[in-house]
Amino acid sequence: MDYKNAGVDIEAGYRSVELMKQYVEKTMRPEVMGGLGGFSGTFSLGKIKEMDEPALLSGTDGVGTKLKLAFLMDKHDSVGIDCVAMCVNDVACAGGEPLFFLDYIACGKNIPEKIANIVKGVAEGCSMAGCALIGGETAEMPGFYPEDEYDLAGFAVGAADKKDLITGQDIKAGDVLLGISSSGVHSNGFSLVRKVFQMTEDNLIRYNAELGRPLGEALIEPTKIYVKALKSVRDAGVRIKGCSHITGGGFYENIPRMLPDGICAKVKKDSYEVPAIFILIQESRKVEEHVMYNTFNMGVGMVLALDEADVDKAVNAIKAAGENAFVIGQTAASDKKETVLC
């Protein structure tokens, strides 16, 4: 009896590392010290010495049950982008620049080509965010996970000068709420999605006229990474007073997280076109509107609170970064810190 007969193939682990190296190397930044394979990833903090009051920001998250869709479709090269996005977007919406990222993959059986494909997506996400993939872990856990399944999570660290942190404390009544479009469902609400639709191969690959593409293709679209868009706004000289990453909990939970006491967010539902995938979800099982806005991003992946005078400049900066932005409402005085749909 040996470890391989017990279900853990050490040689497969070595091969996974070799296959993923080409993707990891593309994410390197000058601050990275050392190479892949060490016991820890090392990153120089020399640049933050230029800041008056440097602060580190961190974010950790996973892909959730969207992975079930990846298993069904046997598509593993985009969920890594989701994993990175869920972490770096949180860091960016607090005003931080993501510096480095680590991933964790737990699987029932280490298939080197599949693991490398997952990491390829992680590396692509890191490149989009401008951060380095400096380490990670692949844990082969036979008997804990089915052989053809895995879990994926990550951890990002960023930095910002204290004066540049986005805290929401200066948001006042009458500030404008600017939404940045999402790419679809992103990585939240898939437990509901999997109840709404038949998760069969035929249903996922069949062309859907309402979506203009197969259902599976629309659902597995990776989460947008907003790091460059937010940087573009700051570089344009716009002060972002508040920022909310619209993840689990949708509009109702996430927008109030950036608001100070005494302020509510009034969002106009007809201020933008809700993407077809959300209409299909709602109509397929007659999901209540409140549930939709309390579960999904409804086509808005990030919400910014700005002075009215800065809106046009911010919209142009976001477009220059390759994203779409639109005014979705404004803040108002209220005794409740909440989102009001109107």
Q: Where in the chain is the domain with CATH 3.90.650.10?
A: 176-341
**CATH architecture of residue range(s) 176-341:** Alpha-Beta Complex (3.90)
Over residues 160-212, the pLDDT tens digits come to: 999 999 999 999 999 999 999 999 999 999 999 999 999 998 999 999 999 99
Residue 7 has pLDDT above 70, yes or no: no
Q: How far apart are CA 139 and CA 86, in angstroms?
A: 21
C-alpha neighbours within 13 Å on the C-beta side of residue 73: 23
d(CA 309, CA 315): 12
pTM: 0.95
Contact 136, 104 (CB under 8 A): yes
Spatial CB neighbours of 33, under 8 Å, sequence gap ≥ 6: 42, 43, 44
Do the Cβ atoms of 257 and 338 come closer than 8 Å? no
For the chain, what percent of residues have pLDDT higher than 70?
97
**Token pair belonging to 277:** 């995938």
Do 337 and 261 meet the contact criterion of CB atoms below 8 Å apart?
yes
Looking at domain 10-164, its CATH superfamily turns out to be PurM-like, N-terminal domain (3.30.1330.10)
Report which secondary-structure segment, H or E, holds 304. Answer: strand 300-306
| CATH 3.30.1330.10, the chain: domain bounds | 10-164
pLDDT in tens, 26-64: 999 999 987 777 788 899 998 888 899 999 999 999 999
Q: Mind listing the pLDDT tens digit for each residue in 100-140?
A: 999 999 999 999 999 999 999 999 999 999 999 999 999 99
Per DSSP, the three-state class of 59 is strand
| CA distance to 15, 80, 200, 227, 230, per residue, from 99 (Å) | 27, 17, 39, 11, 15
Nearest to residue 67, comparing CAs of 150, 136, 133, 5?
Answer: 150
Over the stretch 137-160, which tens digit does the pLDDT of each residue have?
999 999 999 999 999 999 999 999
